[in-house]
Each structure stands twice: as structure tokens, then as C-alpha cells.
């Protein structure tokens, strides 16, 4: 029997817009709650009544497969009603602003908005304009908190700890909300984070986030327990001089040869979508070190935990946790 009621009472944030402003204890509470919901996902009847009578609206201004479906599955497993808004068929096309759309969703008596947007800060802004809970499903280059939580959850399952681990994040860190949320989450929990990328993908003063930069992928892997592989996000910056795909693969691609050279049981993660032969070989993506599909599965339990905790927070405290 899942009993998360004490966790529910400990959570005081209306929204989840990022990991930067969460405490180590907040993140641990989310991961602990996710672990108990994971048990639900293994049952024959994968449903609990925790959000019965609540309505979750998925408001996605950008394309998504994993995050959108996984939030929908998570909400349904908590017995919530779920409405998906595809913005290309909504009044967004007629010029309605994000805040007006959010306030109308609130007026329609929804309880929670899950939002993905191409502008950094969109989720936080929406959270300030509505009284109902807002969960960030990715905002521009800023944060993708539930992705980082499911990455950390999967890593903790495999390595039985986070504190003391070393994780390399390789690839297009500059355009990556996944990288930023992972850095905040992992460092708060006591992991060491290495960034490995061509100079063009390394944000200025990244070391201020508590990470180290190792430009050589083989050296970075040799020091790591896990590697999180990012794709090049061409859609985020049309003017940027992205490296040639083949050249990038040669210098930074995660290949079986590079994994074998470490002589370690290194965990290979990727938030998806995977560009095979660009940032990772198919042999690694589908191989024994890869946990890519386990990350996707764990996304359900993690998002159940997030929806469950934020849905009760406003009744508990009325605080804005953004
Ligand atoms: N990882 C991730 O955000 O994937 P989607 O874009 O498919 O949701």
C-alpha cells in the first residue's frame, strides 16, 4: 500500500518551475515520493485515487513525446482528469497570450497546468499569474526539472546513491534546459558534475554553477560513474555555428569503444530524442550500459510524485514555491 500522506504534508510549494530554488530536502522528498509511486506502476491495476476529482491540463507550446505522454499517464494513474491542449489548434493561434490562456484554464476550474514553452521563464511567469499549480515541462534553455529528477532517480536506482558520484554531461550544454536542471539537482545532492563539449556549447562562467569543464571526452569518461548525453538543439538557435555532425561524433560521440576504454560500469543516460550517429552510437544507445528507456519509464513515477505533491500544496500553505 502506498502511503505518501506524510510527504504530502511536508511539501509547501504551489509550483515546480525548476530545481535551482529547491532545497536538497525538497529534492529528496520528491525522489522518495517517486520511489513509492514506482511500486504502483508495477501493479496489475496501476491506479490510485490520490488526484480523483482534480483536473490536469497539459499546455504544450513545443513538440514533445516523452514528457507530454508521461505527464498524461502519471495524472491518469493518480485518477485525475486530463486535458491536452495542442497550441496549434487553440486560441494561441489567434494571438492569445500565455497568461490569458492560463487564466482561462483556471476559470475553467482546472487544478494544475503542466506547461512547455520555448521562452525561458515562461513557467515562472505563468505561476505568478494564476492561483492554481504550475509545473514546468521545459522552458526554453532554462530548466526541465522533471527530466532532471527522473535522470537522478534512475541514477540513484542503479548506483544506490547520488552523493559522491561523478556525472559527465556531454554535448550542447549551452542550449540545454536538461543540463541546467541536472546541474542544480546533482550538485545539491552532493554529486560532482563534469561538463564536456566543444567551446561553442559551454556557457560563460559555467564553473559558477559548481561544475568542472573537461574538454576531452575520454578523460571525462574515465573520471565518471555516469554520462548524460545531450543532442544538439538546432531548433533553439538558428544563427549559432553548430559543429558538423560527423566531426562532432568523432570528437565527442559516445561510442562503445570509448565506454569500454573506461573499464568501468558506466551508466549511459540520454533525455531523448536520440540522434543516432550524432551524439551517441546505436550500439551504446541500445547496449548494456544504456538506461535510456528506464529513464522514460521512471518519468511516470517521478511525474506522479510532482503532481501529487504540488496538487496539495496550495491547500496546505498557499505559498508560491517558484
Ligand atoms: N526529454 C524530453 O523532454 O523529451 P520530449 O521532448 O519528447 O518530451
**129 in contact with ligand 1, CB cutoff 6 A:** no
Q: What is the CATH topology of the domain spanning 145-296?
A: Rossmann fold (3.40.50)
Q: Determine the Cα–Cα distance for residues 23 and 48; give it in Å rounded to an integer.
A: 28
pLDDT at 230 over 80: yes
Dihedral angle, C-alpha 307, 298, 147, 195, nearest 10 °? 150
Sign of the CA dihedral with 307 first, then 81, 52, and 56 last:
positive
132: phi then psi, degrees, rounded to nearest 5: -75, 165
Q: What pLDDT score was predicted for residue 241?
A: 72
* Rounded (10°) angle between helices 177-188 and 24-41: 110
pLDDT at 319 over 50: no
The pTM score is 0.94
% pLDDT > 70, the chain: 95
As beta bridge partners, residue 59 has 85, 115
H/E element, 222: helix 217-222
Task: Supply the DSSP symbol for 290.
Answer: B
For 254-263, how does the pLDDT look when each residue is reduced to its tens digit (9 = 90+)? Answer: 999 999 999 9
Q: Determine the Cα–Cα distance for residues 261 and 111; give it in Å rounded to an integer.
A: 50
Is the Cβ–Cβ distance between 233 and 191 less than 8 Å?
Answer: no
Pick the atom of ligand 1 nearest to 271's CA: 1
- Provide the 10 A C-beta neighbour count for residue 183: 24
Hey, where are the domains in the chain?
A: 5-143+299-311, 145-296
Evaluate whether the domain defined by 5-143+299-311 bears CATH number 3.40.50.300.
Answer: no
Nearest-CA residue for ligand 1 atom 3 is 67
Is the Cβ–Cβ distance between 142 and 120 less than 8 Å?
Answer: yes
**64 in contact with ligand 1, CB cutoff 6 A:** yes
**271 in contact with ligand 1, CB cutoff 6 A:** yes
290: phi then psi, degrees, rounded to nearest 5: -80, 135
Is the Cβ–Cβ distance between 167 and 228 less than 8 Å?
Answer: yes
Between the CA of 243 and the centroid of ligand 1 the distance, in Å, is 23
Q: Determine the Cα–Cα distance for residues 314 and 309; give it in Å rounded to an integer.
A: 10
Between the CA of 273 and the centroid of ligand 1 the distance, in Å, is 6
Between the CA of 321 and the centroid of ligand 1 the distance, in Å, is 24
Over range 35-59, report the average pLDDT: 94
pLDDT at 17 over 60: yes
Amino acid at each position: 500500500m502506498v502511503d505518501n500522506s506524510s510527504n504530502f504534508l511536508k511539501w509547501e510549494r504551489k509550483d515546480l518551475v525548476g530545481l535551482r530554488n529547491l532545497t536538497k530536502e525538497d529534492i529528496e522528498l520528491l525522489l522518495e515520493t517517486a520511489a513509492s509511486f514506482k511500486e504502483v506502476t508495477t501493479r496489475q491495476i496501476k491506479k490510485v485515487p490520490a488526484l480523483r476529482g482534480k483536473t490536469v491540463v497539459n499546455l504544450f507550446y513545443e513538440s514533445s513525446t516523452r514528457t507530454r505522454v508521461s505527464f498524461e499517464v502519471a495524472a491518469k494513474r493518480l485518477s485525475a482528469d486530463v486535458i491536452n491542449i495542442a497550441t496549434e489548434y487553440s486560441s494561441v493561434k489567434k494571438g492569445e497570450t500565455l497568461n490569458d490562456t492560463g487564466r482561462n484554464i483556471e476559470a475553467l476550474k482546472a487544478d494544475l497546468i503542466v506547461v512547455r514553452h520555448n521562452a525561458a521563464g515562461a513557467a515562472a511567469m505563468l505561476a505568478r499569474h494564476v492561483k492554481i499549480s504550475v509545473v514546468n515541462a521545459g522552458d526554453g534553455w532554462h530548466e526541465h526539472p522533471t527530466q532532471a529528477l527522473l535522470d537522478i532517480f534512475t541514477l540513484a536506482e542503479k548506483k544506490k546513491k547520488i552523493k559522491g558520484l561523478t556525472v559527465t554531461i556531454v554535448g550542447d550544454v549551452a542550449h540545454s534546459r536538461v543540463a541546467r536542471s541536472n546541474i542544480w539537482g546533482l550538485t545539491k545532492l552532493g554529486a560532482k558534475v563534469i561538463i564536456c563539449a566543444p567551446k561553442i556549447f559551454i556557457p560563460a562562467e559555467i564553473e559558477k554553477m559548481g561544475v568542472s569543464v573537461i574538454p576531452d571526452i575520454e578523460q571525462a569518461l574515465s573520471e565518471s560513474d555516469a554520462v548524460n548525453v545531450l543532442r544538439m538543439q538546432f531548433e533553439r538557435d538558428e544563427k549559432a555555428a553548430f559543429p558538423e555532425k560527423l566531426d562532432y561524433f568523432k570528437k565527442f560521440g559516445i561510442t562503445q569503444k570509448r565506454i569500454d576504454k573506461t573499464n568501468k560500469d558506466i551508466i549511459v543516460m540520454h533525455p531523448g530524442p536520440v540522434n543516432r550517429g550524432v551524439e551517441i552510437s546505436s550500439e551504446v544507445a541500445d547496449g548494456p550500459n544504456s538506461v535510456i528507456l528506464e529513464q522514460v519509464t521512471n518519468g511516470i513515477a517521478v511525474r506522479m510524485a510532482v503532481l501529487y505533491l504540488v496538487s496539495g500544496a496550495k491547500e496546505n500553505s498557499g505559498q508560491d514555491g517558484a
